[in-house]
Amino acid sequence: MPILNVELGSRSYPIHIGSGLLGHGLAKFPVKRVAIITNEAVAPLYLERLLASFEKIGAGGTAIILPDGEAHKNWDSLQIIYDRLLAEKCDRSTAIVALGGGVVGDLAGFAAATYQRGVPFIQVPTTLLSQVDSSVGGKTGINHPRGKNMIGAFWQPRLVLADTDTLNTLPDRELSAGLAEVIKYGLIRDLPFLEWLEANIDRLVSRDAAALSYAIERSCRNKAEVVAGDELETAAEGGRALLNLGHTFGHAIETGVGYGTWLHGEAVAAGMVMAADLSQRLGWLAVSDVERVRELLIKARLPISGAKLGSERYLELMSHDKKVIAGRLRLVLLKRLGEAVTWPAATPEQMRATIEQCCAD
């Protein structure tokens, strides 16, 4: 059972990946009381098992069950969490546990970062997307009507427990959404992994357990390396920002269409095609490279065209991106397959051309 480590000095923490971890993965974790934050879809499946696991190590628990979906990653849900934590007199020694996907993890993490100025946090991701991406690295936050994840904090978990058994109950659409982030690691920094994905994408789509485990571990390893090098995304070039390939276009889709209509991974898939298209316009990728990206995403059952919002609306939405520095948007683009760069010099004309090309029917 692989255990990776995210190396962040005094804030380092392990990622456990494997089958059955919900039942026995907590062996030595020091905690006396937990508040498990989950949603209505996940709670009936896994909440009881996780509460029992905490009981086994002597930790009493309470559960806060939120409505499901990205539309609820907002202040109202956060308010429900704060109210319950205070009503139950949870103090600074109470650990907040996220049981669910990226939305639950981001919300619960932000609650952990801000409740009484910060309490311990544990991630128990139950979707492919959260296992390979959002549970690792400490990004937490909520959405604002004007932009995704605009309010948030960096708050590292003490432990990530990725039980691969939970993928058995994951809807097909969410499995595919997770594969978008898996493919992202290949595109931005791991060409051999990209080639492995091209050879094994059908095994992943059909939920071959060994293939999924390998993809999760290799994705987490990539993520852990990037995060260790640039925890707070302050690197002037490259660094953690590269993990956002496809995300600037993708966030525009999610915000423009309304949170929850597109899954995050779906929007990222379309966004990665747009980033590849723009990279080709800049002369970095060949047309055949862009085609390879499209084909892999199609085989992963992901969309390869963005929502038709109109290019002006895209540009307006993208101008709110967190990677804007001193008024200048830094896009993540591909120098070649397996190597991403941050690029501050794409012109509105180039972006319009890509948007019009990639958002057609």
Residues that bind a second copy (CB under 8 A): 32-33, 75, 79, 82-83, 86-87, 89, 91-93, 113-118, 139-141, 144, 146-147, 149-154, 232-233, 319-320, 322, 324-327
Strands 159-163, 121-125: pairing kind: parallel
Residue 320 annotated as catalytic: no
Which helix (H) or strand (E) element contains residue 146? none
Q: Which of 148, 281 has the CB closer to a second copy?
A: 148
In terms of C-beta density within 10 A (0-12 exposed, 13-18 middle, 19 or more buried), how is residue 42 classed?
A: buried
Catalytic residue, from 148, 218, 251, 294: name it.
Answer: 251
Q: Which of 150, 228 has the CB closer to a second copy?
A: 150
- Locate tokens 């952990």: which residue? 112
Maximum Cα–Cα distance for the chain, whole Å? 60
Q: Which of 28, 117 has the CB closer to a second copy?
A: 117
Residue 328 annotated as catalytic: no
Single-letter amino acid, residue 346:
A
What's the min distance (Å) between Cβ of 58 and a second copy?
12
Which helix (H) or strand (E) element contains residue 36? strand 33-39
Residue 181 annotated as catalytic: yes
Radius of gyration in angstroms for the set of CA atoms belonging to the chain, rounded to a whole number: 20
Catalytic residue, from 148, 184, 221, 247: name it.
Answer: 247
Catalytic residue, from 73, 221, 244, 266: name it.
Answer: 244
Q: Contact, 209 vs 200, CB < 8 A?
A: no
Q: Which of 52, 325 has the CB closer to a second copy?
A: 325
What's the min distance (Å) between Cβ of 138 and a second copy?
9
What's the min distance (Å) between Cβ of 118 and a second copy?
7
What's the min distance (Å) between Cβ of 208 and a second copy?
36
Catalytic residue, from 223, 281, 322, 330: name it.
Answer: 223
> In this structure, how many other beta carbons lie within 10 angstroms of the beta carbon of residue 256?
20
Would you list the DSSP string of 64-100? EEEPPSGGG-SHHHHHHHHHHHHHTT--TTPEEEEEE
Q: Which of 72, 221 has the CB closer to a second copy?
A: 72
What's the min distance (Å) between Cβ of 285 and a second copy?
28
Q: How far apart are CA 40 and CA 56, in angstroms?
A: 24
Give the residue numbers marked as catalytic: 117, 139, 181, 223, 237, 240, 244, 247, 251, 264
